[in-house]
Amino acid sequence: MGTFLISKRKNDEFQFVLKAGNGQVILASEGYTTKAACENGIESVKKNSQDDARFDKLESKNGKFYFNLKATNGQIIGNSEMYESIAARDNGIESVKKNAPDADVKEEL
């Protein structure tokens, strides 16, 4: 089962990552000014990760593949690491869809 981990950046912003059961980070958030906003972002990931239309499948300028997860308002709520292949990126999306809905939330503040 996956885990959302809330942490604090050096600039005092909060962020979260979604880790798969094997501990690998599969989604990272933007910075949030409050912990409550960060927790709302997690709830948004749980909800929006079940809708294929919310995933933007992208290719970077250096030829690597990644994805963004967007909320209903179009705002990016999480982005992936860079993948070497389309298949690996698509597996990353499936992992988010599988792990996010029931993931525990932990803090590392």
Residue 1: what pLDDT?
Answer: 84
* Closest by CA position to 26, among listed 70, 92, 100, 75: 92
Its pTM stands at 0.93
The stretches in the chain having pLDDT less than 50 are none
Q: Give CA–CA dist 40/3, Å, rounded.
A: 15
- pLDDT number for residue 56: 97
Residue 100: closest CA among 55, 35, 34: 55
State residue 109's pLDDT score.
82
